[in-house]
Amino acid sequence: MTCYAEVILPLPVSGMFTYRIPGENASGAIPGMRVTVQFGRKRMYTGVIRKVHNHISDTYAVKDILSLPDDVPVVDENQFLLWEWISEYYMCSLGEVFKAAMPSALKVESQEPPEEKAGRKRRLKKTPGKDMAVWQKSEPAQLNPPQNKALEEIRNAFGETEVVLLHGVTSSGKTEIYIRLIEETLRQGKQVLYLLPEIALTTQIIARLQSAFGKTVAAYHSKLNKREKMDTWNRLLKAGDDNKVQVVLGARSSVFLPFRKAGLIIVDEEHENTFKQFDPAPRYHARDTAIMLARIHGAKVLLGTATPSIETYYNCNSGKYSLVNLPDRFGDMELPEIRVVNTRELKRKKRMQSHFSPMLLDSVTEALQNKEQVILFQNRRGFSLYLECKQCGDIPRCRHCDVSLTYHKLSNRITCHYCGFGMAVPKVCSSCGNPDLKMQGFGTEKIEEEIALFFPSARVARMDLDTTRKRRSFDQLISRFELRESDILVGTQMVSKGLDFGNVRLVGIVNADTMLNYPDFRAQERGYQLMAQVSGRSGRKNKRGIVIIQTSDEKHPVIDQVVRNDFEGMYRTQLEERKRFLYPPFYRLIEITLKHRDREVLDKAADFLLQRLRLATRERILGPEYPLVSRIQNLNLKRLLIKISKGSSLPGIKKGIAFHIAELSEHPMFRSVIPVIDVDPY
């Protein structure tokens, strides 16, 4: 009997593709196995079998599977269920999910040479007993009464809901509670996924987990090489007694790993927007995907943060999630003293020294004299944000994107932060030939240079995207700061995310205004979260920390809420705004971005789609409009935002959107227009 396989290919095309299983392989081909197939005339792809059957109505175009590289499946049914949910919910193809989920070493285009693969297999053979699945516990730290109370409340809450939020202030000891819950889960013979929003955090956390659980802990994130990723994948897949992974510490892509018995998923710093994948598809949110993964496995989810997202806190208040509070810092440490500096007034009185207020400079001086460390937070990288001609006002812009080029002093280049285009710093204005070009604005690179001028004997380090591109750069920066080989750490939001430095007394927020004035409905929520989180890096041991916020608007309500540590006040204010203007958690959002080189074609395509969506749905549609950055990589952008009420049928609306997107793509005039759908954007 002839057998056929429905194969998922890593392509942005809906559905699966039917291939014939050659007779000699018919009995050995089962769902979850990889296959090598031809697609089109010449292209070769690695696909994965979803199902096998012997019913087909038309066989003339069916090609044969060329090879089956595996003896056993590399994808299981639980993974398929998760892929299908992501494909449906985030409106992307199964192939796009497959491409994101599978390590590159499992794909044809990047397979290892046979001799290298054989060498890797040999290296994975270990002496029995050296890497045993039975983990030896270092003695866990003793919990204080508030931690014990929170732990007991979490256990009880898991009996009521599958998701629990641990709302604990910075330095309250959430990680020790996580470790106790991991220990309990492992004793049940189940696995744990510990999600982090930033690769930098794995450096500190993995040492604590390995201290408690030995070599059963593995990391999984984008900075690992192909071999390291495959090692973790295989150890989870095979789960051999002598080489088993029981705890995975990783970034968002860890949700795709082949867990066999997931019992607990921890999402630390659950509020962070880096859990959201923006490009390419699938544009999933790892926190929400983790909750679905837990549901598939019958596992529990613990969300942890000092500054919950509005949606998560709303789910707690509405009874969907359980809430456990941990309101005090460990060891009775006080929250930092927060001081606000009015930079507008200081500039008027000409008392600002470069970008630093006298209060900030005096506080840095005091900290350094006391052998204490300092963090300076500026949420923009680069030296100067742009160059401007003093004569005609022209600003050098990217050739491919509608943005100004950012000056980076170390490389002496101006660079686009969207597409990577760069060029040497011009000596004269390209418009008028004037040689007098002025630097405007400032980023972390400029802060690093200027603070070193004020404190020439201090050792200054910088943590941003530019200094952490290399594989081990995160680890090295953090290690040097932990070992007190750096005195001042200048950084972007990377420095705000859960790092634990015991000797930091002072945190300076150099310019709070950039976080609060961005045209985004989440700007004030995220501004609060960033300032509260980076403030929490100060005063972690022995001494109360100091935080200095520099702003031109000291009466801004979010600044006041940060000073008073008033999360509830921020939450209530933002919830009222969201309700009034129809934003989450009261409405769901789907954003559609259209891209095309020709702006006229783009305008017509956007109007075409708008008219059809208005006929198909009664939901509110904003746009189409050009975003702030309206051209990226030579493609013009135009966006529509659909606001969907909670009472509406989300699957039905998605089906209508998909239908009209297909209609747009089939129109002769708009076939070259690129549509991008983002469910739950921002």
- Domain with 195 in it: what CATH number? 3.40.50.300
Q: Is residue 403 part of a domain?
A: no
pLDDT digits (tens, 9 = 90+) for 56-113: 777 667 899 999 998 889 999 999 999 999 999 999 999 999 999 999 888 764 333 3
Nearest to 539 by CA among 379, 377, 329: 329
Q: Looking at the structure, tell me whether residues 466 and 373 fall in a common domain.
A: yes
State the pLDDT at residue 445: 87
- Cα-Cα-Cα-Cα dihedral sign, residues 94, 97, 101, 103: positive
Percent residues over pLDDT 70 in the chain = 93
Question: What are the CA-CA distances from residue 143 to residues 12, 178, 441, 611 (Å)?
Answer: 49, 11, 47, 60
Which pLDDT band, with edges at 50, 70 and 90, does 118 fall under?
Answer: very low
CB-based contact 490:378 (threshold 8 Å) = yes
State the pLDDT at residue 498: 64
Count: domains in the chain: 4
Average pLDDT, the chain: 88
Which pLDDT band, with edges at 50, 70 and 90, does 201 fall under?
Answer: confident
Q: Is residue 657 part of a domain?
A: yes
pLDDT digits (tens, 9 = 90+) for 485-503: 999 999 888 887 767 788 8
The token pair that represents 599 in the structure block: 């702006």
Residue 25 has pLDDT above 80, yes or no: no
Q: Looking at the structure, tell me whether residues 375 and 514 fall in a common domain.
A: yes
Q: How far is it, in rounded angstroms, from Cα 267 to Cα 130?
A: 30
Q: How far is it, in rounded angstroms, from Cα 97 to Cα 80?
A: 10
Residue type, position 442, single letter:
F
Residue type, position 554, single letter:
E
Residue 338 has pLDDT above 80, yes or no: yes
Percent residues over pLDDT 90 in the chain = 61
Q: Is residue 116 part of a domain?
A: no
pLDDT digits (tens, 9 = 90+) for 244-281: 889 999 999 999 999 999 999 999 999 999 999 998 99
Strand partners, 168: 326
Q: Is residue 397 part of a domain?
A: no
Strand 620-625 with 635-645, pairing:
antiparallel
Q: Is residue 361 part of a domain?
A: yes
| 398, containing H or E segment | none
Instruction: Map residue 9 onto helix, strand or coil.
Output: coil
Plot region of 32 (φ>0 → left; ψ -120 to 50 → alpha; else → beta): left
Distance from chain centroid for Cα 1: 48
Q: Looking at the structure, tell me whether residues 168 and 299 fall in a common domain.
A: yes
Strand 635-645 with 504-509, pairing:
unpaired
Q: Looking at the structure, tell me whether residues 232 and 320 fall in a common domain.
A: yes
CB-based contact 454:356 (threshold 8 Å) = yes
Q: Looking at the structure, tell me whether residues 547 and 656 fall in a common domain.
A: no
Q: Which residue has the higher pLDDT, 512 or 242?
A: 512
Q: Looking at the structure, tell me whether residues 67 and 44 fall in a common domain.
A: yes
Residue 116 has pLDDT above 60, yes or no: no
Residue 519 has pLDDT above 80, yes or no: no
Q: Is residue 105 part of a domain?
A: yes
Q: How far is it, in rounded angstroms, from Cα 522 to Cα 283?
A: 18
Q: Looking at the structure, tell me whether residues 337 and 322 fall in a common domain.
A: no
Domain end among 85, 109, 133: 109
Say which range, 52-56, 119-123, 174-178, has the weakest mean pLDDT. 119-123
Q: Looking at the structure, tell me whether residues 326 and 338 fall in a common domain.
A: no
Q: How far is it, in rounded angstroms, from Cα 640 to Cα 593?
A: 7
Residue 36, phi then psi, degrees to nearest 5: -105, 125
Exposure string over 315-341, b if 16+ CB within 10 A, otherwise e? bbeeeebbbbebebbbeebebbebebb
State the pLDDT at residue 319: 95
Strand partners, 305: 167
195 CB-near residues (< 8 Å, 6+ apart): 250, 251, 252, 254, 255, 265, 266, 267, 268, 275, 286, 287, 290
Nearest to 340 by CA among 552, 569, 567: 552
Q: Looking at the structure, tell me whether residues 84 and 171 fall in a common domain.
A: no
Strands (E), 282-421: 300-305, 322-326, 337-342, 373-377, 386-389, 406-408, 413-415
Residue type, position 304, single letter:
G
Residue 120 has pLDDT above 70, yes or no: no
Which pLDDT band, with edges at 50, 70 and 90, does 482 fall under?
Answer: confident
31 CB-near residues (< 8 Å, 6+ apart): 49, 50, 51, 52, 73, 75, 77, 80
Residue type, position 255, single letter:
V
Residue 329 has pLDDT above 90, yes or no: no
State the pLDDT at residue 140: 66
CB atoms within 10 A of CB 252: 24
- CATH number, domain of 30, equals 3.40.1440.60
pLDDT digits (tens, 9 = 90+) for 347-401: 999 999 989 999 999 999 999 999 999 999 998 766 667 788 888 888 888 889 8
Q: Is residue 437 part of a domain?
A: no
Q: How far is it, in rounded angstroms, from Cα 421 to Cα 437?
A: 20
The answer to whether the peptide bond before residue 624 is cis (omega within 30 degrees of 0) is yes
Residue type, position 82, single letter:
L
State the pLDDT at residue 391: 86
Q: Is residue 80 part of a domain?
A: yes
CB-based contact 362:455 (threshold 8 Å) = no
Residue 134 has pLDDT above 50, yes or no: no
State the pLDDT at residue 41: 79
Q: Looking at the structure, tell me whether residues 603 and 518 fall in a common domain.
A: no
Exposure string over 654-676, b if 16+ CB within 10 A, otherwise e? bebbeebbeebeeeeebeebebb
Q: Looking at the structure, tell me whether residues 447 and 485 fall in a common domain.
A: yes
Q: How far is it, in rounded angstroms, from Cα 537 to Cα 375?
A: 8
- CATH number, domain of 663, equals 3.30.70.600
Q: Looking at the structure, tell me whether residues 350 and 491 fall in a common domain.
A: yes
512 CB-near residues (< 8 Å, 6+ apart): 527, 531, 549, 550, 551, 556, 559
State the pLDDT at residue 446: 87
Range among 111-120, 122-131, 201-210, 663-672 with highest mean pLDDT value: 663-672
Q: Containing domain of residue 188, as a range?
A: 145-331
State the pLDDT at residue 541: 65
Plot region of 295 (φ>0 → left; ψ -120 to 50 → alpha; else → beta): alpha
334 CB-near residues (< 8 Å, 6+ apart): 539, 544
State the pLDDT at residue 490: 94
CB-based contact 516:527 (threshold 8 Å) = yes
